[in-house]
Amino acid sequence: MKYLIQTWGCQMNDHDSEKLAGLLAREGFTAAAGVEDADVVILNTCSIREKAVNKVYTELGRLREEKKRRPLLVGVTGCLAQQEKDGLFRRAPQIDFVMGTMAIQKLPRLVEEARAGRTRVIDTGDYPDNHLFPPETTLRHSTAKALVTIIEGCNHACTYCIVPTTRGPERHRPWKDIVGEVEDLVAMGYREVELLGQNVNSYMGGCTFAQLLDRVSEVDGLEWIRFTTSHPMNFTAELARTLVSNPKVAPFLHLPVQSGSDAVLRRMRREYTVEQYLERLGYLGEGRDRINLSTDFIVGFPGETEEDFEGTLALLEKVRYDTSFSFIYSPRPGTPATRLEDDLPLAEKSRRLSRLQARQTELTLESNRRMVGRTVRARVESRGALDGGHWLARTGEWKNVHVAAAEGLRLPFGELVDVRVTGAGPHFLRAEIA
């Protein structure tokens, strides 16, 4: 039996797919090369915005055609599965099984039942041990950076967001389990880990998140720790100190602000004002300049006036984010924001998004240019020189680097190398081996 897992959404979902693959491998399944080759296809879905959901339904349409030609099991897992539950069978009867985000360890049983001919197999229950997944089972995609869950779920209640519904309330993994998993990963050859959660900095699995970073950094042989993602209200001075001073913590911070207008932030229920957000960023002190600072914006939230939007642009100017991700507000079923009046035309929302993104592109280019002349550590991410005569690498700041391939030079995949930055574009740096 061969499986194929298609994944949408965030790193949490990517990592869930690695767990699902591991569970199937344990049952003797092997990975298929493509849909044509698979006996079971799993769609591990995201429902953060409508676009993500539409992609899933498009794929389900394609699989319906494939199922007409030959026997094939189709399963839907992830956030859309948790949100829609058995409603998915009504909308797409070609689905054989549905599994929610909190029932992940039930996958082998669900596949078994579907194989035995049962129809509409489903488990979207909440299991208290879901976050205690046996790490040795996980089948990781990358051999360079390992994803490690530290916390599942979210206790915030942003009015636009589906995640508290799809991922449930916070559950914390004990810190010793996390350190143990990282030790095993390093023994397997990994030098870099990314700690994952919807809100990692509200971690309380026996210590604070800053303490967890310090404890993980003590694992011998580990070189870089990354983490994603953080809520500003849980960003403490202690965490800022650790980020700035612990050399193993990569110099990257993603701290989503969403909007630069207090009125909008209030309606979003983000729990902070612009001023409070800036105060927290201030915890970084001088360290700010060495950190790649990133954020998320939602544009066109219900009731966003031109003035509110100007506030967002003003915040962008003030903070000068190195990168940001911005999205047009997408109403999610059952969330409180859907009850707010939203009369701004889509064309106007798109115009605002373009303005924001155009300015960010300029700021990112400036940020990249500031790195020219510096020597930085980067991890090699391609197995050989690419067509353009360069290797791909990634800096601690999480910037892409094209490293010039010198004659006779062999860069080992996954290794850290020192590179001197020689040029910059908006999406990548150019460099040569230092």
- Which residues contact ligand SAH by CB under 6 A? 48-49, 160-161, 163, 198-199, 229, 231, 256, 258, 296, 298, 327, 329-330, 332
Work out whether 10 is an interface residue with ligand F3S (CB under 6 A).
yes
Separation CA 257–CA 142 (nearest Å): 30
Work out whether 344 is an interface residue with ligand F3S (CB under 6 A).
no
List Cβ neighbours of 312 (8 Å cut-off, separation of 6 or more): 259, 260, 261, 297, 299, 356
Q: Considering the complex, state which of residue 164 and residue 414 has its C-beta at the smaller distance from ligand SF4.
A: 164
Work out whether 48 is an interface residue with ligand F3S (CB under 6 A).
yes
* Min CB(315)–ligand SF4 separation in Å: 17
Of 161, 178, 244, 337, the one binding ligand SF4 by CB under 6 A:
161
Task: Give yes or no for a contact between 13 and 43, defined as CB atoms under 8 angstroms apart.
Answer: no
Of 166, 229, 294, 364, the one binding ligand F3S by CB under 6 A:
166
Cα separations in angstroms, 332 against 26, 50, 85, 261, 399: 36, 7, 15, 22, 32
Work out whether 158 is an interface residue with ligand SF4 (CB under 6 A).
yes
* Min CB(199)–ligand F3S separation in Å: 11
Separation CA 74–CA 96 (nearest Å): 5
Work out whether 9 is an interface residue with ligand F3S (CB under 6 A).
yes
* Min CB(348)–ligand SAH separation in Å: 16
Of 164, 336, 414, 423, the one binding ligand SF4 by CB under 6 A:
164
Work out whether 46 is an interface residue with ligand F3S (CB under 6 A).
yes
The one of ligand F3S, ligand SF4, ligand SAH, none whose footprint includes residue 332, by CB under 5 to 8 A per kind, is ligand SAH
Residue 12 has φ and ψ, to the nearest 5°, of: -60, -40
Q: Helices 306-319 and 346-369, interaxial angle, to 10°?
A: 10
The one of ligand SAH, ligand F3S, ligand SF4, none whose footprint includes residue 46, by CB under 5 to 8 A per kind, is ligand F3S
Work out whether 199 is an interface residue with ligand SF4 (CB under 6 A).
yes
Q: Which of 133, 19, 136, 121 is nearest to 74 (CA)?
A: 121
Separation CA 337–CA 81 (nearest Å): 21
| Contact code string over 123-162 relative to ligand F3S, x by CB under 6 A | ---------------------------------------x
Task: Give yes or no for a contact between 188 and 4, defined as CB atoms under 8 angstroms apart.
Answer: no
* Min CB(180)–ligand SF4 separation in Å: 27
How do 252-254 and 292-299 pair as beta strands? parallel
**192: how many CB neighbours lie within 10 A of its CB?**
22
Q: Which stretch binds ligand SF4 (CB under 6 A): 125-133, 160-168, 188-196, 360-368?
A: 160-168
The one of ligand SAH, ligand F3S, ligand SF4, none whose footprint includes residue 164, by CB under 5 to 8 A per kind, is ligand SF4
List Cβ neighbours of 351 (8 Å cut-off, separation of 6 or more): none
Query: If you write DSSP's letter for every residue of 220-276 in order, what string do you get?
Result: TT--EEEEE---GGG--HHHHHHHHH-TTB-SEEE---B-S-HHHHHHHT-S--HHH
Task: Give yes or no for a contact between 413 and 383, defined as CB atoms under 8 angstroms apart.
Answer: yes
Work out whether 79 is an interface residue with ligand SF4 (CB under 6 A).
no
Q: Considering the complex, state which of residue 73 and residue 150 has its C-beta at the smaller distance from ligand SF4.
A: 150
Residue 424 has φ and ψ, to the nearest 5°, of: -150, 140
Residues at the contact surface with ligand SF4, assessed by CB under 6 A:
154, 156-158, 161, 163-164, 198-199, 231
Residues at the contact surface with ligand F3S, assessed by CB under 6 A:
9-10, 12-13, 46-48, 78-79, 162-163, 166-167
